[in-house]
Structure 1
Amino acid sequence: MKISGNTILITGGGSGIGRELARRFNELGNVVIVAGRRLSALEETVAGRRDMHAMTVDVEDSDAITAFAERVVAEHPRLNVLINNAGIMRHEDLTRTRDLRDAEQTVVTNLLGPIRLTNALTDHLAGQSDAAIMNVSSGLAFVPLSVTPTYNATKAAIHSYTVSLRERLNGKVEVIELVPPAVQTELTPGQSSREDYMPLGDFIDETMALLREQPTPREILVKRVNFLRWAERDGHFDQAVEMLSVH
């Protein structure tokens, strides 16, 4: 992946990993468009920075995504990088019958949203030089956290979808997967202050260093996520599931 001189669209750019990736890419000489639901949060991301733009989109609405993609391409015809980062994480109680609205919203936001936006932009990106798509999954795609079952499932699906996308777009669009460990963000309440989670700045530093490697790794794996990513291969999958279950 070319590290500078791009026009990059990042969903979920109003906070956390999306916000910090946007700012870091902008500092490297990229035009960056941050997208999300809350304009106020997006405007905080871009405040005082050149070549950064904020655009709202409802990733749960398929028609809104189609219209948004058309608008992005019209306003930023040099768009050549898509980073699907937007996501939600909800705790669920699997021990009883429950309202499934959280699970359904998680599937729409975390899985259908990236699929729909990627689909809407594929033809455009395939015609651009140095085009890339980066999908953000999670270490929990490989070892599930039992209290967030639908989140884990959507991230496992994103991993699988990314593999297929990479194969089909080979030679046209570079396809990368970013696999975060537990990072200090506000993905869930109080997460940003958990001492056992990876500091956001450290995660971004290591991520950007990996993105500079040539060739770019297919999967961006900071050291702290390797325990989960390779749990099954390395024979400690059951141990990892148990560890997360008492987390």
Structure 2
Amino acid sequence: MKTNGNTVLITGGATGIGLALAEEFARAGSEVIVCGRTEETLKQAKQKLPSLHTRICNIAKESDRDDLYEWAVANFKNLNILVNNAGIQRMIDFKKGTADLLRHRAEDGEDEVEVNLRAPVYLTALFTPHLMKQKESAIINVSSGLAFYPMPELPVYCATKAAVHSFSQTLRQQLEGTTVRVFELIPPMVDTNLDKGARKARGQTYFGLSTAEFIVPVMKAFANNEFEIRVQDPKLSAMRGGPS
């Protein structure tokens, strides 16, 4: 996949891995659109990268997803890469019944299944017919190393990311023979605000690769058409005494 000359839409692109992808695609010469929930984070992202196009969108809402699609294809007819990056991660203890499960929804209105799984599936269905009209196009789904090595503290997050992995595999087979390539980006632990301080609360002293360390091998893998991109963390591997 070429990394220059594209028009790229990244969900959750105002922070973390999404913003790192936005910066690298823009640096390579692609036009980049990012969406996010809050005006403030989008404003900060645009201050950092003035060439960004931004759009407020809560991908947990079906109406927002529909509006994002209509706006994007109307204003960026050459859009040829969709990055399903937005995600949330919550610690949930099922021994507490529904209390922990519902607490997060009450606090911030977010639901892991809706954001991490239903949204990328729905957005993929919306954008695939448009992407198939492009000469070269791609869907990039961001899953997680936790899809393969789940943490008991994060049961729903791990399950949704395992589902994203399976979805990416079957979608890749279904779109074989079209112009759409399907990539799965499988991050290790990366130092972002995804966990909202949960790692620190668990007593962790290492928070993973920086986004700068993470993004370099990712862009090389895109250019080499590596469809399942697993980035290794040598620091974590040394701490564990084996592969990360």
Same fold (TM over 0.5): yes
C-alpha separation in 2, matches of 1:211 and 1:182: 20
1:115 counterpart (114, 121, 141): 121
Q: Deviations over 1:28-47 (max 9, x none)?
A: 00000001111221122122
The one-letter code of the counterpart of 2:29 is G
> Identity of counterpart residues, as a percentage?
39
Q: Deviations over 1:28-84 (max 9, x none)?
A: 000000011112211221226454200111111112211210110001111000000
Distance 1:91-1:47 versus aligned 2 partners, 3 A rule: same
3-state SS, counterpart of residue 139 of structure 2? strand
Q: How many angstroms does 1:209 deviate by?
A: 2.0
TM-score (ref. length: structure 2): 0.86
3-state SS, counterpart of residue 182 of structure 1? coil
Question: Mean Cα displacement is larger for which, 196-205 or 133-142?
Answer: 196-205
Partner of 1:198: 209
Partner of 1:234: none
C-alpha separation in 2, matches of 1:165 and 1:63: 24
Partner of 1:177: 184
2:171 counterpart (149, 165, 183): 165
3-state SS, counterpart of residue 96 of structure 2? coil
Distance 1:140-1:67 versus aligned 2 partners, 3 A rule: same
Point out where structure 1 has 5 or more consecutive residues left out of the alignment.
229-239, 241-247
Partner of 2:222: 211
Q: How many angstroms does 1:196 deviate by?
A: 4.8
Q: Deviations over 1:116-160 (max 9, x none)?
A: 111111110111111000000000001111001000000000000
* 2:150 is equivalent to residue 144 of structure 1: yes
The one-letter code of the counterpart of 1:186 is N
Q: How many angstroms does 1:194 deviate by?
A: 4.7
C-alpha separation in 2, matches of 1:41 and 1:58: 13
Structure 1: 4+ residue segments shifted above 3 A: 48-51, 190-194
Partner of 2:138: 132
The one-letter code of the counterpart of 1:139 is G
Q: How many residues align?
A: 227
C-alpha separation in 1, matches of 2:205 and 2:17: 16
C-alpha separation in 2, matches of 1:200 and 1:141: 20
**Cα RMSD, aligned residues only:** 2.3
Distance 1:48-1:105 versus aligned 2 partners, 3 A rule: closer
Partner of 2:90: 90
Q: How many angstroms does 1:199 deviate by?
A: 1.9
The one-letter code of the counterpart of 2:164 is I
1:154 counterpart (160, 166, 188): 160
